[in-house]
Structure 1
Amino acid sequence: MTIADFIIVGAGPAGCALAAGLAKSKRAPQVVLIEAGGSDPSLFSQIPLGLATRVPWRNRENYAFETIPQPGMNNRKGYVPRGRGLGGSSLINAMIYIRGQRQDYDHWAALGCRGWGWADVLPFFKRGETNSRGSDDHHGGDGPLRITDLTAPGAATYAFLEAAKHCGFPLNEDFNGADQEGVGLYQVFQHQGKRFNAAEAYLGTAPYPQNLQVMTNIEVESVVFEQRTAVGVKIRSGGKETVIRARREVILSAGAIGSPHLLQLSGIGPGDALRSHGIDVVYDAPDVGENLQDHVDYAANILSRLDGLVGYTPKALGNIAKAAFEYRKRTGLLTSNVAEAGGFVRSRPEVDRPDLQLHFCIGLVDDHARKMHVATGYALHVCVLRPESRGRVTLSSGRPSSKPLIDPRFFSDERDLDLLVRGARIVHDIVEAPPLAGSASRPLYPIDFTNETQVKQFVREHADTIYHPVGTCRMGGNERSVVDPTLKVRGVDRLRVADASIMPTLISGNTQAPSAMIGEKAAALILDEAV
């Protein structure tokens, strides 16, 4: 197609949900979905445990961005893996199904995002879900997303649950049920022991409906405007530039890093900064790229010989080889999402709801698993659920091929550091409790928790993201917000954003499910306007 009704840029969870919602509607508009990556996920993406090969390094499914040096982290650069290909980050993440807390969405509504309260978004969560446990007041039973329990959680994972219970944390069988608080096994985006990415869920496999064209390995260089009206996108393929025109709308679903970057390349952003890169200003929007939020995380890496752990030892590698035979029946170790369990806990008794999240991983995750050790062990992560620090995504140059500058400004608000230090203490209480304690275990990096100054410095040295950037095209009810509650970009016509970048504040948990919800709700908003 050289012209379509709708052009969607980015095929992550939001973009796939949006494309399917529009293309499969009774009105059957012509939809073009454009993705920079490829169409076929690698074997390492499809096998759940294969994420250990996808996340740590740049590959065909991972942009592997870095932040600029972070003063709050002793001037280290943070690591920002982002998915590339049909399915976006659902190709490489830990497949954890979490919606967040109802208060997160009610807070959005209180900020002026009418129609985004918990009562408004819950029907979209349920509509999108087929839960292996069946449908009820909290879950759906016939949606495109397959949600299931892990096939074969390891013995070490159950040891973590017992240790957490020993420390007074209640067990919770459903983090997306009536109450999020407690520890338990995570439900995952899997089907029959395989990763079930967002493209599989919403688009299925080619051939697609006649009114949906999916274009892969195509770079979108900018949105094309006539005056202040979006009329299409400029793409590059095979060294040639082409313009695809949109009769009705262009919708950016390129994520919290890609969408603000593309807006700025297209002339929507802080005017002086755009002009300094030689970009003509279409609309001076100072908040584009601002409001970046992410879950800053600390991980205790523990050397251990507990059963069910993975690592770079002959025995552990042999176990993975043996698991390949089990995987023919779609069970066993290869079905693990690595982060098999976790939970949501309060840092202090007086806190009204969980403000920390735990992830228990069945292997060492030292520097995002980029530092490898000839040992087995586990990592117990803790992250700040609702950080106060705010960062930004800006241009490094006016060239579309240039990488954006990512500055989360971690710990620029000291409250985040104080909260993560409390989380680190909770984590180390758990790893020192039975049955985790005494299992030939010792920390990879010992720390004296009686020295407050040393603990803070230690956390600064070891903290980083756990991969949930949001907020850079903030939705709101005031003129400074980048998009309004219908996701229309302020100051221009026929342009929307629909992905995690529109979140005004970060939700309390993993972001794949909320991103898909945003895509589904965006489709409904657009179709309702067409009535």
Structure 2
Amino acid sequence: MPSLKTITVSLLATITQLAAGLPRSQLHARILGEQADVKDEYDYVIIGGGTAGLTVGDRLTENGKYSVLVIEYGVYHEQTGMDPSRMFNITSTPSPSLNDRQFRVGLGCGVGGSSIVNGQLMLRGTKEEYDAWKTLGGIDSDWDWEGLLPYFKKATTFSPPDKEIADEFKIRYNAEYWGSETPLYAAFGMGRPANITKKLHAAMSGIEGVTVADDSGSGQNGVYWYTTSHDPATGARSYARTSHWDNVPRDNYEMVIESKVNRILFDDDMAALGVEYVPVNDTGSEPQRVNAKREVIIAAGAIHTPQVLMLSGVGPGDDLKRAGVDVKVDLPGVGSNFQDHSYVPSIGYSWGNPPPTEGPGGPMTAAPNLVAMIGMPALVPNHYEDLAARYEQQDPKIHLPESYTSEQVDGYSQQQAVYARMMRSLNTTFNEMMLFGPGGSIQNMHPLSRGTIRLNAQDPQGQVVVDYRGASNELDLEIMADNVHFLRRYMASEELAEYQPSERYPGPSYNTTEQLMEWSRSQIIPSVYHPIGTCAKVPKEHGGCVDEQLSVYGTKKLSVVDASIMPTTVGATTQLSVYAVAEKAADLIKARTFD
């Protein structure tokens, strides 16, 4: 007679085989395998099945009233993590101010978008950083901390840390800043952090001006323990596909994969009628058309959303003409205002007297993780006022792309005024440091330089031309040097003296700000895979692309709902902010009335 273990293994194998044979439509919303299965018309057509696109698609279909087709460039798969096969293969143009180096443009490619490959950090920015979006949007804007907080909560389900570990390691949290209904988890790891984090916490929080936040989602910076996007029961990645596609089998929610949108179709009044798309692996085939009864929604991300608009004739007129695209709406802001966080991968330290290694430590482990988000007055207390004053006195045209119109220059000058105020605020994060060992990487969370996304004039349907223009504003080099000085001050704190920290890289020969600025030219990477801003939500007269309702200027029935609408960076990873933007966008779209 077979054992219970043998029967169990056999039963699991049978279930697995049955599940593998099930049509995808029975496991989740419908992925259409044949073009003949695609209807002629849907209420909404969403371009991009990533973080924002799946969130909006889920919300638009959940009441059963509307039909949605998602068109996704990548594949449906079970693999996650930073796997190159699940990412676009794009390299930037050289950045002259960073020694003409080129950089990888990291973007997820598959159902779930970048949420399948990111570091899973569920961070949000500070109150001041989201309030800046309202200031730049205009007097009637509600895109601020208060206007987004309900959507941060709606987007997630919170899982607290183990109580004993929380008490021992001073893990502060407040569930009031989080939700409990959407199966996108913001969870603390249940393992034990390394004991050294207690010392790191004390050393960082003891620096003048550095606060200890009530919660990582409170809109307050400083030292805090943060959540990651994983299922607290299984440890598996929690992302857009698992939260907004899997387990929502609806007849009104469909998707085609491995398909590229060539252009949006408009009528004579510039109302979006639908889209044309082709298979990714056969772009020379006859384009397929699908109509949108209510609206076309672009959620292709900050790199590819501008490409979709430009291929459709909406964008900077001169660039479109060079690429052989008929200009329908001359909208110079499309593809401009490109921003990302920048970082130096390593400031190398070693312990002369190593601490005990118990507990896993390190970022993205099974244990809770610790971070410091630092404002400029704490970063450089004797220097921040001078830095802010010099920045606000800059002539913006000197540091911006030559293609910028007077309206775009005016828009950046408004960002300049906002950023100068934020430089003087403790609660605007200019430096992010993960606290898990000696030294580490340093990040500039508000780079002042601005890049561009443009069509390749020789191959418009191919990959876009990505120009970070890293450190084109030299103050970005100075801020990075200030970050190095701050890390050295932190490592020299009394709390860490017993471990005898010693700097190995860049080393004491790089001591002055000028020396560290020059060193930074060869070290800065202008992307932490957090691209934003390329279809900014600011007034058209200030170089914007979408209005407060996320409708594209000069068009009708066309919206953008992803990170490209963010006018400025926030001092946090972008994942959670994208979910909040998408949740708010879905409500705005559902509230529209149509003739």
TM-score range, shorter chain: 0.7 to 0.9
Q: Counterpart amino acid of 2:95?
A: Q
Residue 345 (structure 1) aligned to one of 374, 382, 387: 374
Cα separation, 2, equivalents of 1:60 and 1:380: 28
Cross-structure match for 1:195: 237
List aligned pairs for 1:349-428, cutoff 5 A. 349=381, 351-352=424-425, 353-360=427-434, 380-397=440-457, 399=459, 401-428=461-488
Q: More displaced, 495-504 or 154-163?
A: 154-163
The SS at the match of 2:228 is strand
Q: Alignment identity in percent?
A: 28
Name the CA distance, whole Å, in 2 between partners of 1:260 and 1:65. 15
The structural deviation recorded for 1:502 is 0.5
Match of 1:460 in 2: 521
Which residue does 2:324 correspond to in 1? 278
Q: Which SS does the other structure have where 2:92 is aligned?
A: strand
Which of 118, 129, 151 aligns to 2:145? It is 118
Match of 1:13 among 51, 58, 70: 51
Among 509, 516, 524, the residue aligned to 1:448:
509
Query: Which one of 54, 60, 85 corresponds to residue 110 of structure 2?
Result: 85
Match of 1:484 in 2: 547
Q: 1 CA distance for matches of 2:555 and 2:537?
A: 15
Mark the CA change 1:67 to 1:450 in structure 2 (over 3 Å): closer, same or farther: same
Alignment of 1:336 onto 2:365: yes
Cα separation, partners in 2 of 1:361 and 1:435, compared to 1, 3 Å: closer
> Which residue number corresponds to residue 311 of structure 2?
265
Write the deviation string for residues 8-47 of structure 1: whole angstroms up to 9, x where unpaired: 1112221111111101135x211011111111231xx2xx
Deviations 1:286-323 (A, max 9, x none): 111011111122233436586899xxxxxxxxx9xxx9
Highest CA radius of gyration, 1 or 2? 2
| Distance change >3 Å, CA 149–CA 286, structure 1 → 2 | same
In structure 1, the partner of 2:272 is 230
Secondary structure of 1:68 counterpart:
coil
Whether contact under 8 Å (1:23, 1:31) holds in the other structure is yes
Q: Which runs of 5+ in 2 are unaligned?
A: 1-37, 161-172, 386-423
Quick check: 1:128 aligned with 2:155? Answer: yes
Q: Is the 8 A contact 1:37 1:60 kept in 2?
A: no
Once residues 361 and 251 of structure 1 are traced to their aligned partners in structure 2, the CA distance between those partners, rounded to angstroms, is: 39
The alignment of Structure 1 onto Structure 2 pairs a total of residues equal to: 483
What SS does the corresponding residue of 2:577 show, helix, strand or coil?
A: helix
- Residue 74 (structure 2) aligns with: 37
The residue correspondences of 1:189-338 to structure 2 (distance < 5 A) are: 189-192=229-232, 193-205=235-247, 208-227=249-268, 228-237=270-279, 239=282, 240=285, 241-302=287-348, 304=350, 336=365
Q: What stretches of structure 1 of length at least 5 have no aligned partner?
A: 46-50, 310-318, 324-330, 363-376
Cα distance in 1 between the residues matched to 2:137 and 2:186: 32
SS at match of 1:357: strand
Q: Is the 8 A contact 1:106 1:117 kept in 2?
A: yes
Is the Cα contact below 8 Å between 1:299 and 1:379 reproduced in 2? Answer: no
Q: Distance in 2 between matches of 1:308 and 1:201?
A: 39
Compute the displacement of 1:186 (Å). Answer: 2.0
CA deviations on 1:391-434 (whole Å, 9 max, x unpaired) are 11111136454211111222222222222211121123334445
Asked if structure 2 preserves the Cα contact closer than 8 Å seen for 1:347 and 1:419, the reply is no
The answer on whether the counterparts of 2:189 and 2:367 sit within 8 Å (CA) in structure 1 is no
Determine helix, strand or coil for the equivalent of 1:462.
coil
- 95-104 or 350-359, which moves further after superposition? 350-359
**Counterpart selection for 1:151 from 190, 193, 197:** 190
TM-score, L = length of structure 2: 0.75
Report the residue type matching 2:531 in the other structure: P
Task: Name the CA shift for 1:289/1:125 in 2 (closer, same or farther; >3 Å).
Answer: same
Aligned amino acid, residue 296 of structure 1: S
Q: CA deviation at 1:379?
A: 6.0
Deviations 1:43-80 (A, max 9, x none): xx2xxxxx4x53xxxx2211143221112211111332
The structure in which a higher percent of residues are strand is 1
What does the per-residue CA deviation read over 1:128-148, in whole Å, with 9 as the maximum and x for residues that have no partner? 221113975422222332111
Distance 1:461 1:249 in 2: 46
Q: Distance in 1 between matches of 2:264 and 2:355?
A: 53
**Residues 1:139 and 2:209 aligned together:** no
Judged with a 3 Å threshold, the aligned counterparts in structure 2 of structure 1 residues 104 and 354 are, in CA distance, closer, same or farther, namely: closer
Rounded Cα–Cα distance in structure 1 between residues aligned with 2:266 and 2:54: 24
User: Shift in Å at residue 383 of structure 1?
Assistant: 2.1
SS of 1:258's partner is helix
Counterpart Cα distance in 1 of 2:502 and 2:179: 41
How many Å apart are 1:156 and its aligned residue? 5.4
1:108 is aligned to 2:133? yes
Give the whole-Å Cα distance in 2 for the aligned partners of 1:342 and 1:450: 26
Q: Give 2:213's match in structure 1, choosing from 168, 172, 177.
A: 172
Secondary structure, counterpart of 1:66 in structure 2:
coil
Aligned CA distance change for structure 1 residues 467 and 447 (closer, same or farther; 3 Å): farther
The aligned residue for residue 25 of structure 1 is: 63
What is the distance in 1 between the residues matched to 2:458 and 2:271? 21
Q: C-alpha distance in 2, partners of 1:388/1:136?
A: 34
Counterpart position of 1:61: 86
Counterparts in 2 of 1:487 and 1:216: CA distance versus 1, 3 Å: same
Q: What is the deviation of 1:166?
A: 5.2
Q: 1:525 to 1:264 in 2, by over 3 A?
A: same
Contact kept in structure 2, 1:126 and 1:143, CA below 8 Å: no
- Paired residue type of 1:124: Y
Alpha-carbon displacement from aligned partner over 1:316-339 (angstroms, at most 9, x marks no partner) = xxx9xxx9xxxxxxx999962899
CA–CA separation in structure 1 for the residues paired with 2:593 and 2:50? 25
Q: 1:103 to 1:334 in 2, by over 3 A?
A: closer
1:95 is aligned to 2:110? no
Indicate if the aligned counterparts of 2:363 and 2:434 stay in contact, CA closer than 8 A.
Answer: no
Alignment partner of 1:19: what SS?
helix
Name the SS for the 1:397 alignment partner.
coil
The one-letter code of the counterpart of 2:567 is P
Superposed displacement of residue 110, structure 1: 2.0
Q: Structure 1 length normalisation: TM-score?
A: 0.83
Alignment of 1:515 with 2:578, yes or no, is yes
Task: Name which of 519, 531, 538 aligns with 1:469.
Answer: 531
Q: Deviations over 1:108-135 (max 9, x none)?
A: 2222352212221111111122111397
Which residue number corresponds to residue 374 of structure 1?
A: none
* Residue number in structure 2 paired with 1:503: 566
Q: Secondary structure at the match of 2:66?
A: coil
Measure, in 1, the Cα distance between the counterparts of 2:179 and 2:316: 42
Amino acid corresponding to residue 423 of structure 1 in structure 2:
N
Q: CA deviation at 1:95?
A: 1.1
